[in-house]
Amino acid sequence: MSSQVARVYSAIPYGYTGSLVTVEGDMHRGLPSFNLVGMANKTITEARERVRSAVTNSGFTFPDRKVTINLAPAELAKDGAHLDLPIAVAILILARTLRPAQVERKLFVGELSLDGRTKPIRGIINVIEAAKNASFTTVYLPRENLPLARLVTGINLIGISSLSELFAELKGIPYTPIVKNTQTDDNPDSTPSNPSNHSPDSSPQTTSPSTSPVLLDHISGQSAAKRALTIAVAGHHNLLFTGPPGTGKTLLARAAAALLPPPSPLEQIEIAKLHSLSAQPNYNFTQRPFRSPHHTASTAAILGGGNRLQPGEISLAHRGILFLDELPEYPRNVLEALRQPLEDRQITLARANQHATYPANFILIATMNPCPCGYYGDPDHPCTCSAAQISAYRKRLSGPILDRIDLVVNVNRLRSDHFLAPATPSSSTYASFHAAAQALISTARQRQTTRYQNPAIFNAQLTSPQITNFIHLAPDARAFLNTAADRLHLSARGYFKVLKVAQTIADLDAAAQITPAHLSEALSYRVRSPASDPP
């Protein structure tokens, strides 16, 4: 038999996008061997044993010649088990079990188990988008990946459960799965079934919250904090709650998740795409993310990185909320690294041989105590911290980080007679306050969409030219703001952040212009109260 070359197309995730990979197979005389080349990491080199077992256990003959598989382009670092299926298809072409014409303009991706069944892969949306952009007409992928893959429209997706089923699909013959002896199978429930490739799949398994959502009406009092939370969600502003422990700061932050409107179809794709690249591929992409990493999380876990340059918590919070509880407890280098993502709404991770840019457009909600013991300024509980301890505690947050926070709100302790008081006047209107806040937020967001002609732009994201073009102040408001900025020594960033918050307040009030009253409220969230300053 003369030497021949098989060519099968696949794709792998590469950062936030995908990259095409050509699987080239060559077979010629020589001692039987199976070699993989093309800058493959350990996971891919191990595919030799997985593919060999999958091919033979699926009833096909593995060539008894010297087989070489090249993964092109060779300079592209490749990781993961995405290429198991296209490698197996290349082997079947070399063995003349399949013809090259049967795989033309088709793309294959998927991991194979030793018995030939397919397993889901991460980053499936990246793969499908890469295939669509390269004008491929059909993609064969593991059946478990279909629910996420179908978020990308305009391309034919065929889910398969095994290598044998793929062979039958390419040959156009009926597929009859091999039923194993369930008494000896370690996992009897995993025997593949034979549903139609084109039949609707059940909904994806998603992670659902273990508890019911927190509503504003579940929180007694704290009307000023609830107002600030409404402003933050409406205009996509960063928010910091300060106050003694046990005053409801964390509960207020968690209530923000229930205030957010559901994501749009485009936002669902972005959310699903990022989570499919992480260790949580089954995240419910119909809900906006609420990420709350612990303060002991590593820099790579929060910002992203690792061997695979995976997205971190700030990217997994994209289109949702990043909640940092007890902000000063996070390492200073982590907090300082948040400067650029908070401004650019994205983060670029760079390594020696690869780089990736992930979106990170989130609302930052953080909490902190006024001092290490937590009781500075509390009239009912004495503070045990010295002035030096309080100063050192505050210095954990640099000026540039605080300058990127739009609203700072003091959450004071409630009297004990408020604890068991009903949150609303009657049970029939239990969610009235929360529902009213949601309605205000929805109206304010719609006004922003109409003003900027883009549903993805919010007041907090405006640039200086956009502020000049879109924000309108009443005649007496401009003089009021300039006087306040001079007296309070606001930085240029602080000046514009006050304007942006005031615009959101005006949107909540359905006002056409920013008035001194709107600016006054915005300034009250910018200036910290005297009780929060160390002695």
Q: Locate the DSSP E strands across 130-275.
A: 138-142, 156-160, 239-242
What pLDDT was estimated at residue 74?
A: 83
Beta-ladder partners of 242: 368, 410
Q: Does 86 lie in the same domain as 31?
A: yes
The pTM assigned to this predicted structure is: 0.84
> The sheet that has 321-324: what strands, in order across it?
290-291, 321-324, 363-368, 239-242, 407-410
What is the average pLDDT across 132-140? 94
Number of H helices, E strands in the chain: 20, 18
- Specify the CATH number for the domain of residue 120: 3.30.230.10
Neighbours of 239 (CB within 10 A): 25
Q: Does 127 lie in the same domain as 239?
A: no
Q: Are 347 and 358 in contact (CB under 8 A)?
A: yes
Alpha-carbon distance 139 to 126, whole Å?
13
Establish if 296 belongs to a structural domain: yes
Q: Does 274 lie in the same domain as 150?
A: no
When pLDDT is cut at 50, 70 and 90, the band that residue 155 belongs to is: very high
Q: Does 166 lie in the same domain as 304?
A: no
Alpha-carbon distance 335 to 366, whole Å?
12
Lookup: tokens for 149? 């893959």
pLDDT at 464 over 80: yes
Q: Does 117 lie in the same domain as 152?
A: yes
Alpha-carbon distance 68 to 24, whole Å?
8
What pLDDT was estimated at residue 233?
A: 96
Q: Does 244 lie in the same domain as 159?
A: no
Amino acid at 351: R
Q: Are 9 and 19 in contact (CB under 8 A)?
A: no
Lookup: tokens for 186? 């370690």
Lookup: tokens for 23? 């699987």
Q: pLDDT (tens digit, 9 = 90+) per residue, 415-457? A: 665 555 555 555 444 457 888 999 999 999 999 999 999 999 9
Decide which of 421, 456, 491 is a domain's last residue. 456
What domain count does the chain have? 2
Q: Are 287 and 319 in contact (CB under 8 A)?
A: no
What pLDDT was estimated at residue 47?
A: 81
Q: Does 231 lie in the same domain as 123?
A: no
What is the average pLDDT across 371-387? 86
- C-alpha R_g of the chain: 28
Q: Are 378 and 413 in contact (CB under 8 A)?
A: yes
Neighbours of 222 (CB within 10 A): 23
From the list 474, 437, 467, 473, the residue with the least C-alpha distance to 451 is 467
Establish if 523 belongs to a structural domain: no
Q: Does 235 lie in the same domain as 160?
A: no
Q: Does 405 lie in the same domain as 301?
A: yes
What pLDDT was estimated at residue 377?
A: 81
Establish if 204 belongs to a structural domain: no
Establish if 368 belongs to a structural domain: yes
What pLDDT was estimated at residue 334?
A: 93
Which range of residues forms the domain containing residue 397?
216-413+429-456
Establish if 210 belongs to a structural domain: no
Distance of CA 340 to the CA centre of its chain: 17
More confident residue, 235 or 176: 235
Lookup: tokens for 27? 């077979």
The mean pLDDT of the chain is 85
Q: Does 181 lie in the same domain as 319?
A: no
In what helix (H) or strand (E) does residue 269 lie, and over which residues does it extend? helix 265-276
Residues in contact with 281: Cβ distance below 8 Å, sequence separation at least 6, in sequence order: 120, 122, 148, 275
What pLDDT was estimated at residue 529?
A: 43
Establish if 55 belongs to a structural domain: yes
Lookup: tokens for 168? 């039958």
Establish if 526 belongs to a structural domain: no
Alpha-carbon distance 132 to 153, whole Å?
9
Q: Does 446 lie in the same domain as 336?
A: yes
Q: Does 322 lie in the same domain as 372?
A: yes
Establish if 100 belongs to a structural domain: yes
Percent of the chain with pLDDT over 90: 57
Dihedral sign for Cα atoms in the order 325, 326, 329, 333: positive
> Of 116-125, 187-196, 383-392, 446-455, which gets the smallest average pLDDT?
187-196
From the list 87, 104, 103, 107, the residue with the least C-alpha distance to 40 is 87
When pLDDT is cut at 50, 70 and 90, the band that residue 281 belongs to is: low
